[in-house]
Amino acid sequence: MNVTRRQTFMLGAGAVAFATLGSQATIAFASEESDKLIAEFSGGKEATAGKIKLKAPEIAENGNTVPISFTVDSPMTADNHVASVMLLALGNPGPAVGTFNFTPMSGEAAASTRIRLAKTQEVLAMAKMSDGSIFMDKKTVKVTIGGCGG
Amino acid sequence: MAKSKPRVKVPKKAAKGDIITIKTLISHKMESGRRKDKKTGELIPRKIINHFKVEFNGAEVFSANLEPSVSANPYMQFKAKVTESGTFKFTWTDDDGSVYSTEKKIAVE
């Protein structure tokens, strides 16, 4: 195949454009499925950083069981509390990990659990407050041995 | 499959208004539905605990929808604010419809 100088240049420009787009997409969110889950959870609202704190190990030796915990800063009263928190493992074949629903009786919106991570990836936690506002936090976890089997 | 045995840790006593920590664990394989049988090469069907609920004296305190990305033997730790003595009820729901549950009493002074 003959590639002219002009075509080469255009290819290069295209690649650069694609790369920028791509990296932006990963900053925002990884895959289509997680995009969908996030949209469903947030109701299309923009997520802001803060309030929620995700705790995850920097390096997980075994991806089959990675301890994850989060806390959300909230007074947890009847009209101002955390309604739910969604956890996503952005690099898993199925990104959804779980949704945790809180009530004012929780006293404090905090939970820990153990999750599977297929490979090194970002874990995202998103909190929905009773007034509908959305907060999120992200952590990258390096995985030495993948979970999820198969 | 092995029976799923829930284990729950709730403090026996607490002061009124205290926020207590509850730890729960249930033995369950949490088959993700993505693993293949080594011999036949066929996918092992998904079988996980998809819902977990905690009630205190009948009112919901905490619940969680779980997905295959949760580890085997799902472990949950969370908080609850207690204002009166009563009973915590924990319920796990399996994909196949089975329900595992257990109860724990707490005395509040």
Domain that holds residue B54: 5-108
Residue A49's domain is classified under what CATH number? 2.60.40.2470
Q: What is the pLDDT of residue A21?
A: 47
Residue B76's domain is classified under what CATH number? 2.60.40.10
The backbone torsions φ and ψ at residue A42, rounded to the nearest 5 degrees and listed phi first, read -90, -15
B109 vs A17, residue with greater confidence:
B109
Contact A98 B32 (CB under 8 A): no
Total structural domains within chain B: 1
pLDDT (tens digit per residue) in B9-40: 999 999 999 999 999 999 999 998 888 888 88
Q: Does B74 touch chain A (CB under 8 A)?
A: yes
Q: How confident is the model at residue A148 (pLDDT cuts 50, 70, 90)?
A: low
Q: Is residue A148 in a domain?
A: no
pLDDT (tens digit per residue) in B38-63: 888 899 999 999 999 999 999 999 99
- A57-73: average pLDDT: 93
Q: Is residue A112 in a domain?
A: yes
| DSSP per-residue letters across chain A | ----HHHHHHHHHHHHHHHHHHHHHHHH-S-HHHHHHHHHHHTTPPEEESSEEEE--SEEEETTSEEEEEEE----BTTB-EEEEEEEETTSSS-EEEEEEE-GGGSSEEEEEEE--SSSEEEEEEEEETTS-EEEEEEEEEEEE--S--
ipTM: 0.90
Domain that holds residue A32: 5-143
Q: Is residue A52 in a domain?
A: yes
Q: Is residue A150 in a domain?
A: no
How many CB atoms are located within 10 Å of the residue B88 CB?
22
Contact A97 B70 (CB under 8 A): yes
Question: In 3D, which of A59, A62, A30, A56 has the Cα closest to residue A146?
Answer: A62
The answer to whether residues A68 and A115 touch, using CB atoms and an 8 Å cutoff, is: yes
Q: Does B55 touch chain A (CB under 8 A)?
A: no
Total structural domains within chain A: 1
Q: What is the pLDDT of residue A15?
A: 53
